Structures are given as structure tokens and as C-alpha cells.
Amino acid sequence: MPARRLIFLGPPGSGKGTQATRLAERNGWVQLSSGDALRRERKEGSEIGRKAAQYMDAGTLVPDDVITGVMLAAVDKLPSGSGFILDGFPRTVPQAQSLDGGLKQRKLRIDAVVDFRLADEEIVRRIVERRVCQSCQATYNLSFLPPRVPGKCDKCGGGLIQRPDDHREVVVTRLETYKAQTAPLVEYYSQRGLLSAVDSSTGADAVEAQVSRIVDAAGRG
């Protein structure tokens, strides 16, 4: 499939990260996750990482100027003509407006925006049961995607942990924050004719089929 530039919207735990990984691997595109980028900065102890950690641990959004700069820098590092999926960014309308301006300067544009929708109760359950490999960042779920050996990564054997921002109290705060600040993006991208919604309560393969149809249609538009 020709290169596409996509945005995946949706609350934490809605499956957008899993689908971004699948689509990127199948088409040779790049998944640009704001969460992964910020966690890398935090682990390295950079100034921006320390600043972001305060917000991440509290379950609130990282300030617009911090995350927008990080994500545009990530786009700049890609080879010319690369397809990419922005996963977890933008999260606010000001971020979206800054992204629009930054991409325009680079003579790029977003082809489609996919909105992943899932009930709050299911989101909380999925995130609280999520475990991540400390070494390779592979993700598991204690209910529907458990590791073969409890506490060990299938891919590299690294130890599995629960992220600080995956505890129940933080998850509830993250959902409230999402609804207040991120949900307006649905209207923002709807007005631009870019938004399509998918039902994330179905199985991963069914969700992938929905996403593929949206991306194919965007390419024909």
C-alpha cells in the first residue's frame, strides 16, 4: 500500500496502539507513539523527560509545547516519503492546530484520522491488567494476552511490570482528562472530513479489518 500519514485517536486502552503496530508492520510504515517517546526521555533523565514525568504519573496531559515539539522532531527524523501513524498525539485541539501548521511547513498532510471507541468499564479493566516488558517494551494483558511464563516476556525473557500510570486510580483520572480535553478532537477532525470511527469492543482482527477499510478509502480519496 502507498505511504499514508494517519492519526489514531481514542482513550487509553482502546486498542489504538495495537492496531498502529499491526498496520505499521504490515505496510512498512512508522508508528510514532507519544507515550513511548516521552517514556524514553524520562528513562534517559533528560530535562523534558523529568518535566513530562510529573504529568504522566498523575495521569494528566503533558503540556502542548512539550509534546508537540517531541512529535514534530520525530517526523523530521523519518526518511522522505515515509508513511507514519501518530499514536496518542495530538491530544488537544491546540496540539492539532500546531501539528497542522508544522506539517504544512514540511509540505505534508494527514490522510485520515481513526477514532477508536470503547466503554469506560472495559478500558479500566484492560489497562489495569496490562503488563509491559522492561527490556523490549512488548505489551501483554493478564486476561486476553498473557505471557507463556508468568512475569516473563515471550520475546526476550525480560521482566514484566505494571507502569505507574496503569494503576486504577490513575486510569480513572486519565479517562476524565481525555473526555474533557481530547474528545473535542473528534469534532475538529470531523469538520475537516478526515474522521472515521471503529468499534474497539470487537476482536483485534475485526478491528484491524475496519481500520484497513478506512485507510484504503482514504487512499482512493
Catalytic residue ranges: 16, 91, 130, 163, 174
Q: Using an 8 Å Cβ cutoff, are 90 and 185 in contact?
A: yes
For residue 143, give the 3-state DSSP assignment. coil
Burial 101-139 (b: 16+ CB within 10 A, else e): ebeeeeebebbbbbbbebeeeebbbbbbbbbbbeeeeee
Phi and psi angles of residue 193, each rounded to the nearest 5 degrees, phi first: 70, 25
Q: Which three cell numbers stand for residue 2?
A: 502507498
